[in-house]
Amino acid sequence: MSELPRYVEIGNTPPAWREVVKVARYDYHLSLSPPVWERVSAARQVVEKIAASSVPHYGINTGLGALCDVVLAHDELQGLSHHTLMSHACGVGTPLRTEQVRAIMCSAVVNYSHGYSGISPDVVEGLIRLVNEHITPIVPSRGSVGYLTHMAHIGLVLIGHGDVEFRGQRIPAKQALDAIGMVPVTLGPKDGLSLVNGTPAMTGLACLALDDAARLSAWADIIGAMSFEALGGQLNAFMAEVTALKCHPGVQQTGDNLRRLLADSAHLARHKGQRLQDALSLRSMPQVHGACRDQLDHAARQVEKELHSATDNPLVIPVEDGYQVVSQANPHGASVAMACDLLAIAACEWSSISERRAYRLVTPQANQLPPFLTTESGVKSGMMIAHYSAASLVADNKRLAQPAVTDNFITSGLQEDHLSFGESAALKLDKTLDNAFYVLAIEYLLASQALDLIGSDEFAKGTSLAWKSLRDVLPAYQEEQALHLDIEAAYQCLKETQVIDKLLSIAPNLLPSRQPSD
């Protein structure tokens, strides 16, 4: 018997960013409550009425962008929507991942659910059907200055054009629609513009990045604690009385995590007082990891506020004597772009300080461990070159940490002369986070190898659990297989949450538990 699908229903309360992740990453189905459908339909009735008139309203019965002064006849409006998708679907390059496209489609439905867009309910229903039937449009990843192109490729599928991923194959969209008995959507006034407009693409991508960054924040504290213990760090730097004097919430969370993960370590007790202070990459973990956690919290608030916003143009606004169609700039994605740029800096910092700890683990002059974490140095190189890989990835991250939002171009015949590059910001954040996971995977390998070589059974309960969890899937490295295989295996461990879930009973602040608040 197959399991019944789990649902995310969009109702009067706007969804949290985690709800988008459930749909995109964990295959929840999507639905709208009856009151939401009523909002969508009410705004659509306004659009239909305006479309039948001769009074120009941008995007409903006029051309787009620099052609906004061109008034179109009613029988031209379906063609306008059709041609909008065709001309705007001009992305290039490697397609987005399935989960990324699903996140964008979910965010688009959320955007329309506010009831200010005026899009046809048939279009919204079609998007929901694609999500729930797991028909995923093939969407090229590159070519957006902030919106338009990604959603245009998704819109093509609704009208039976383009390619999709369906049941493990890439097939024409019309073939997939036929397989589920779905008739291509007939677009009407404003539908094409509403499909390509707004910030759903960058917002959906950002929701996935938040989920990854939350998991990265936990692993950074876990693996950092392992390295700290392997290197015989001085616990006084993490005293609650010390971190309490740094008034940032993230510092308090990371400090608490480290104290709990390292509690009752007899190994560290033996190293107490061996040096006056440790290197900054060890003793500043509460301050650095904590600052990164604070940026994650800020980014989550910004992204969630965008998810709760109506970002179409024009918008159908209720006024005292009915409705007013207003052309404005809510599709500008500056808030999401800045949030993604800031979180990319945080991800770079998580990876940068991890690489510094990895360096100390493999460098004989910086520790009391066997050189390069092998007992046969000379004939074996141990973990020497794994650190090189970490350094390369961090160098990439430093370049990716450069902001996208500060760039600018003039497009659409002088009409759109300030751009957010929010999708570029979200996509480079995705790459930065992936690099950071690999850097931490390398540190995880090195710290575990160091604990193997120390060979003590007197490590802290938290770090021991993390160490043994890796050893459950991967033995100590003996140079009998290519090291990249071990790195990939450790990386896969970090992409899951099982170890984090086990450690939450020891350090409950590992995963950010606070919902973003106003």
- Closest by CA to 372, choosing from 384, 360, 380, is 384
Give 9's strand partners: 31
- Determine whether 58 is an active site residue: yes
Answer whether 316's CB lies under 8 Å from 47's CB: yes
Answer whether 470's CB lies under 8 Å from 496's CB: no
Q: Which of 7, 28, 58, 323 is catalytic?
A: 58
Phi, psi dihedral angles at 511 (to 5 degrees): -95, 135
Is residue 31 packed enough to be buried (19+ CB in 10 Å), middle (13-18) or exposed (0-12)? Answer: middle
The total number of residues shown for the chain amounts to: 518
Contacts of 164 (CB under 8 A, 6+ apart): 135, 136, 137, 138, 157, 170, 171, 172, 173, 176
- Cα–Cα distance between 242 and 228 in angstroms, integer? 18
Q: 254-265: string of b/e by CB count within 10 Å (b at 16+)? A: bbbbbbbbbeeb
Answer whether 487's CB lies under 8 Å from 442's CB: yes
Q: Which residue has the tokens 């659509």?
A: 44
State the DSSP code for 245: T
3-state secondary structure 259-281: HHHCCCCHHHHHHCCCCCCCCHH
Contacts of 245 (CB under 8 A, 6+ apart): none
Answer whether 229's CB lies under 8 Å from 262's CB: yes
- Closest by CA to 391, choosing from 368, 362, 370, 365, is 362
CA distances from 12 to 9, 39, 308 (A): 10, 10, 11
Answer whether 84's CB lies under 8 Å from 192's CB: yes
Detail the DSSP E strand segments found in 44-127.
92-95
Phi-psi region of 10 (alpha: psi -120 to 50; beta: other; left: phi over 0): beta
Contacts of 370 (CB under 8 A, 6+ apart): 377, 382, 453
Active site residues: 58
